[in-house]
Amino acid sequence: MKIGPFELETIERGAGPPILLIHGTNPVSPKAEFLEGLATFGKVIAPSHPGFGNSPLPADFDTMYDFVNLYLAVLDSLEPGTTVIGLSFGGWIAAELAVARPRNLDRLILVDPVGIKPGGREDRDITHFFNTDPNELNQRVWHDVKQRPEGIYGLGWQATISDAMTDQEMISLARNWDTLCLAAWRPHMFNPQLKHWLHRINVPTSVIWGTSDRVVTPDYGRAYAGLIPGARFTEIAAAGHHPELEQPDAFVASVLGFMRETGS
């Protein structure tokens, strides 16, 4: 996908109304089970952010709002009636997009997003992505760490570098981490002002959460949903921070159920 000067590695599946999928700390794997399920409802478009996967990173692209403005341009390039799904870090981008009220946005689905700080100054609302022991992060991310999906895509900081990884996978993982640090190191994974503007979101919104997520807990999710007018909050059992990976069937059922109910 080419948007202005940006070239974005992009996965596409299916046909019909656009479903823009904004990934989290790593791009979505083309092998992810949930992609085919979503593609039964429309055309899934899943770009890799600049600096992630194989998408080039311009030298002066280094803030969260570079990502937000890029995806506003992506939305402008799509048809009216677009559904936006944001995963984790991508959920933060998606929430910022919706606050801006882009003309082509029809529905918003946030999946275990970061981006706000509901607690006080001393409260750790979001587990630190970079400064927490990897073994502890694994426990916080997954409902059952022993059953976590293989590979690096969508798994973010808890992916383990091993002899089984290709050189290209290791390079991609390092690029993803570096770019994430540029965008979200401080404040760590949130915008202090965003919670004051979520009331501007004026499209049907579903907030989906893994019941076992201990990176950002379901209570954090309920607080998030409570700031968005009319938002629906849904928990997915036996899933942590990535319900789309741990429970793809339940995730797809929740997303498609919401889309059917809110279809025009």
- Element spanning 236, H or E: strand 232-236
User: How would residue 160 be classed by pLDDT, with cut points 50, 70 and 90?
Assistant: low
What pLDDT was estimated at residue 129?
A: 87
Q: For residue range 210-262, what is the model confidence (pLDDT) as tens digits?
A: 999 999 999 999 999 999 999 999 999 999 999 999 999 999 999 999 999 99
Query: Is residue 69 over pLDDT 60?
Result: yes
Residue 154 has pLDDT above 50, yes or no: no
Q: Is pLDDT larger for residue 239 or for residue 135?
A: 239
Q: Which of 7-16, 34-43, 166-175 has the lowest mean pLDDT?
A: 166-175
The reported pTM is 0.96
Is the sign of the CA dihedral 259, 107, 142, 224 positive or negative?
negative
Domain ranges of the chain: 2-261
Of 24-33, 198-207, 226-235, the one with minimum mean pLDDT is: 24-33
Own/partner pairs, 224-229, CB within 8 angstroms, 24+ separation: 224/110, 224/113, 224/115, 224/116, 224/118, 224/198, 227/116, 227/195, 227/198, 227/199, 228/198, 228/199, 228/201, 229/199, 229/201, 229/202
CATH superfamily, region 2-261: Alpha/Beta hydrolase fold, catalytic domain (3.40.50.1820)
Q: Is the pLDDT of residue 147 over 50?
A: yes
Per-residue pLDDT band at 172 (split at 50, 70, 90): confident
Q: Before 187, cis peptide (omega within 30)?
A: yes
pLDDT the model gives residue 117: 96
Q: Is a pLDDT exceeding 60 seen at residue 153?
A: no
Mean pLDDT of all residues belonging to the chain: 92
Tokens of 141: 């991310």
Q: Residue 122: its pLDDT value, please? A: 79
